[in-house]
Amino acid sequence: MLQNLILLLLGLVIHNFCSPPETTDQAKRCDKKSLLTIRTECQSCSLNLGIKCPDGYTKVTNGSVGVRDCRYIFEIRKYSLSLPGCRHICRKDYVQPQCCPGHWGPDCMVCSCVHGVCNSGIDGDGTCECYSAYTGPSCDKPIPECAALLCPENSRCSPSSQDETKLECKCLPNYQGDGHYCEPINPCLQAICHPHAHCTYLGPNQHSCTCQEGYHGDGQVCLPVDPCQTHYGNCPTESTVCIYDGPGQSHCECKEHYRNYVPGVGCSMIDVCESRNPCHRNANCTTITPGQPKCTCQKGYVGDGSTCYGNIMERLRELNSEPRGKWQGRLTSFIWLLDKAYAWPLSNLGPFTVLLPTDKGLKGFDVSI
C-alpha cells in the first residue's frame, strides 16, 4: 500500500514537471490607420454613370451619377461653357503596419532584452544591443570587462563584429556612428515621405509626413487639391468660370457676355444694346439674357423689332431716301402726288396696301396738277 502511494505521488510530480506552460499571444500591433478621400473628375452626369473609382478605392456616393456639386468646362470652337456636372466620392482605408513599443517583426513579438535596447519595429529583427557590462542574446549576462571601455552616451559595450572574443563600443539602435560618437538617425534625410510632403523629425529614427499646402493625403500619398472641384473655387457660378492654376490654386474669369469681375460678387452682364444695338432705329432694345437682346417696335410702329414700319407715307419717304437703296430717288413724283391728295388719311388711318409707280412710270404725266 505504501509503495503504491509513493508511485502515485511520483507520477503526479513527473506529470506536473513535464506539462508545457500555457502559451499566450505576445504579439502587439499599433497599426496607423488613416482614411484617404478623393473625388473623380467632374463631367456630364450622363457620362458619369459608368465611372469607377481607382483601384483600391470604394465608391461612397449614393446614386449612379454621383453628387451634383461641381461644374465642368465644355468647349465649342473658341467658346467655353461652364455646365453643372457630377462626380463620385471614393475612399480608401490606408493602414501603415506598426508595432507597439518593445515589439518587433511582422508578427510584433515582444522584445526579450533585459539590459539592452531591442531592434524593434515592424522591420526589426528583435536582436538586442546590450547596455555596457551585459551580454547574451537577451542582455542578461554581466561582463566585468566592459567597465574599462567607458562607452559614451548612446553606445553600449558589445562583442566586436570582427572578433567576438573582444569587446567594443557600438551605437544603440536608432543611432549611427563608430561607437565612440553616436548620433540619432534622422529619417527625414532620406526620401521617406511623398515628394509633395514635409517630413518632421520626432526623435531617433522617428518622423511624421504632412502633405504640403495645396495637397491632401496622409503624407505617404499626397494628391493635388483642385479648388474648382470644391465649392467651384468660390467663384459665382452664374457669371464666372473657375480656372485651375495648380495644386490648391485657382482664379475666376468672366463667362462670355460678362465683364468687370468683382471678387465675391461676380461679373456684370454686358448690355448688348449699348455695345452693338441690333434693333431698328424705331425699336426699343432690352438685354434679357447674356448676349440675347429683345427688340420691340416703338408705339406707332409695327414689325419684329429688327424692322419697324410706321405709316405708309413715312415708309415711302424712307425708301425714297435710303442711301444706296433700291428705290432711292425713284418715288419722288408719286410721293408728291400722295402728299397733295391723300397725305392725312395715309399718315393717320389704315392699314393700307398701296401699289405705286416709280418716277419712270409717271414719265410723260404732268404731276404738278
Burial of 15 (0-12, 13-18, 19+ CB in 10 A): exposed
HSE toward the beta carbon, residue 104, CA cutoff 13 A: 15
Q: Where are the beta strands (DSSP E) in 179-280?
A: 182-184, 197-203, 206-211, 215-217, 222-224, 240-246, 249-254, 258-262, 266-269
Spatial distance between the Cα atoms of 322 and 281, rounded to a whole number of angstroms? 13
pLDDT given at position 318: 83
DSSP string, 313-363: HHHHHHHHH-TT-TTTTSSHHHHHHHHHHTHHHHHHS---------TTTTT
Cell numbers that stand for 79 in this block: 467658346
Per-residue pLDDT of the chain (369 residues; tens, 9 = 90+): 333 333 333 333 323 333 332 323 446 888 888 888 999 999 998 888 888 899 989 888 887 888 888 999 888 877 888 899 999 999 998 888 889 999 999 889 999 998 889 999 989 999 998 776 677 899 888 777 787 888 888 988 888 888 888 888 889 999 999 998 999 999 999 989 999 999 999 999 999 999 999 999 999 999 999 999 888 999 999 999 999 999 999 999 999 999 999 998 999 999 999 888 899 988 999 998 898 999 999 987 888 999 888 788 888 888 888 888 888 888 888 888 888 877 788 777 767 777 888 888 777 666 664
pLDDT given at position 164: 80
CA-based nearest residue to 68, from 51, 87, 54, 81: 87
Burial of 62 (0-12, 13-18, 19+ CB in 10 A): exposed
Spatial distance between the Cα atoms of 238 and 234, rounded to a whole number of angstroms? 12
CA-based nearest residue to 217, from 62, 96, 68, 69: 96
pLDDT given at position 18: 31
What b/e string do you get for 286-316 counting C-beta neighbours within 10 Å, with b at 16 or more?
Answer: ebeeeeebebbbeeebebebeebbbbbbeeb
Cell numbers that stand for 178 in this block: 563608430
pLDDT given at position 302: 82
- CA 235 remoteness from chain centre: 15
**Domain edges within the chain:** 32-96, 103-184, 229-269, 272-303, 319-369
Residue 118's φ and ψ, nearest 5 degrees, are: -85, 140
pLDDT given at position 368: 60
Quick count: other Cβ atoms within 10 Å of Cβ 281? Answer: 7
Host H or E run for residue 304: none
SS3 (DSSP) at 232? helix
CATH tag for 229-269 (out of 3.90.930, 2.60.40, 2.10.25, 3.80.10): 2.10.25
CA-based nearest residue to 255, from 17, 47, 80, 35: 80
